[in-house]
Chain A
Amino acid sequence: MKKLLVIILAVLLVCGGCSAEKELTKLTEVGFYLDTVITLTAYVEDSKVLKDALEECGRYERMLSRTVEGSDVWRINHANGEAVEVFDDTMEILLCARKISELSGGAFDVTIAPVSTLWDFTSGTAVLPDAEEIARAAELVDQTRMELDGNTVRLPAGMMIDLGGIAKGYIADRVKAYLEDCGVKHAILSFGGNIVGIGVKPDGKEWKVGIQDIDKKTGEYMLVARNTGGSTVTSGIYERGFDLDGVRYHHLLSAETGWPVQNELASVTIFSESSMEGDALSTAAFVLGTEEGLKLIESLDGIEAVLIARDRSVLYSSGAEAYMIK
């Protein structure tokens, strides 16, 4: 009898332990970094892992922000032509930025900062910068003049970089990897317009990602995409920007002219594995416009896109419809 009780006790102990470990709760943590909001939602045992992941975001902000004194980007921009040693992360981003820039014929360019700093898209005031100043600043935009060597970066004096079009994607990828290393199997993470998933929901259902309705309030979707563990990034003219005299002035700037790109497109969504690539490609494809943008996407393996035009027509790359729910 005693033996039987010991066996029952052992079984209960083992089962009890297992059940406790598998008890997952849907928890969310929110943080404000890099001028955007980061939301981490995951099925986890407790919120500590998500809090630690947010702290990682803070670390990346101190490394990659243009405005945080002492960050890699700040030091590059204030080096007056001298070489600056940077973290591996910064170099990885700059190398990816260079690759996307070359693939897109310069449509994506991280040396856009002399121009982008002249625009105010966030305060809600509709003021155009001085046209001559924009023209002068646009001459300083040319990533081919940025020297990348080992872990050092050299930028000609006067030029500046801004990783706003790519850093969020990189951080999204790193935070995802961090959570996966911590054993997280079900999560959906949002970094501004960058969404990355880990697996699917615990019940096997896919994550749903709304694609912003270009004519409606922020948050209202026009299309819904599925995410089963990849990256979904959208760049659109409805994001940061203002309307003046019937023209939409938005944050997707031409590296050539320094003015917001005015073409037939309203938004571009990229489906990819790497959110860093997706981030840069969404801007690049937007700047290139429908025809050239789609051509770029079709030339790349594992990348799909949804292009929404200002007239609300929707174009898909050859494999993109598989990502759509409605």
Chain B
Amino acid sequence: MKKTACIILTLILLAAAGLYTVTTPAGGRTTLAENTPAAGETAEHNHNAETAAAETGTEEPARTESGETKEQPFLVQITDDDPAIAYVLVRMPNPIGLLPLPTEGEYTRTIRQTKDDGTEQINVLHLTTNGFWMENANCEGQDCVNMGEVTLENREERVLWNMIICLPHQLSLELITREEALQMLGQ
């Protein structure tokens, strides 16, 4: 009898644990997935990123002549083996994807948007192990280029907290921790 009770209790506990999944509210925890049709179907970064890029009019990652180097793709999922401790969340203005802070060194990432009239809106991000800044942009006003650096240390008290925003290009960039990214993705 005791054995049966134990099994039943275990089953109940499992069911109770399941409640958290079942009652996770509908309506948009997985923010990125709403804007990227391929999201959630696979954890393969490159595939998703290119789909996201095509959806939003951004160019596919540029390749060198050797075809080996290409720009960091946007991530729409975070895998366990991804070593990044923080990410830049890119919105135009809806979320497009994440760019991981490098674990060593630094890199730049060009974001291109093509308007209906064919003009190209370009922003170049510079990412380091500790944060990011807008290195270059072809926008009016250049406010985004003049917003300084967002770092893991200053993001709680900077004037726009963890964000750099390019108003003319309707582009917003946010420095979020791995934990915040996982929560946002509902992972």
Interface residues of A (CB under 8 A from B): 1, 5, 8-9, 12-13, 15-17, 19-21, 23, 25-28, 30-32, 35-37, 39, 41, 45-48, 51, 122-124, 188, 190, 208-212, 216-221, 224, 325
User: Which listed segment binds A: B15-23, B56-64, B97-105, B107-115?
Assistant: B15-23
Which B residues are CB-close (under 8 A) to A21?
23
Given A5-B9, A123-B141, A221-B159, answer yes or no on A45-B180 (Cβ-Cβ < 8 Å): no
A79 CB, nearest partner CB in chain B, Å: 31
Interface residues of B (CB under 8 A from A): 1, 5, 8-9, 12-13, 15-16, 19-20, 23-29, 31, 91, 93, 140-143, 146-148, 150, 156-161, 163-165, 167, 170, 172, 174, 180, 183-184
Which A residues are CB-close (under 8 A) to B160?
39, 190, 218-219
Which B residues are CB-close (under 8 A) to A19?
20
**Docked pose: A8 CA to B10 CA in angstroms:** 11
**Docked pose: A220 CA to B12 CA in angstroms:** 53
Residue of A nearest to B172 (CB): A30
Are the C-beta atoms of A122 and B164 separated by less than 8 Å? no
Nearest 8 interchain pairs by C-beta: A48-B27, A16-B19, A20-B23, A217-B148, A47-B28, A12-B16, A210-B159, A208-B157
Are the C-beta atoms of A46 and B157 separated by less than 8 Å? no
Given A46-B28, A218-B148, answer yes or no on A30-B140 (Cβ-Cβ < 8 Å): no
Secondary structure class of chain A's binding surface, majority of residues: mixed
Secondary structure class of chain B's binding surface, majority of residues: loop
Task: Select which of A46, A48, A51, A216 is within 8 A of B148 by beta carbon.
Answer: A216
Given A211-B159, A220-B148, answer yes or no on A48-B28 (Cβ-Cβ < 8 Å): yes
Which A residues are CB-close (under 8 A) to B147?
217-219
Are the C-beta atoms of B5 and A224 separated by less than 8 Å? no
**Docked pose: A221 CA to B153 CA in angstroms:** 13
Residue of B nearest to A220 (CB): B148
Are the C-beta atoms of A16 and B31 separated by less than 8 Å? no
**Docked pose: A45 CA to B26 CA in angstroms:** 9
Residue of B nearest to A208 (CB): B157
Are the C-beta atoms of A20 and B8 separated by less than 8 Å? no
Which A residues are CB-close (under 8 A) to B165?
30, 37
Which B residues are CB-close (under 8 A) to A122?
140-141
Which B residues are CB-close (under 8 A) to A39?
160, 163, 172
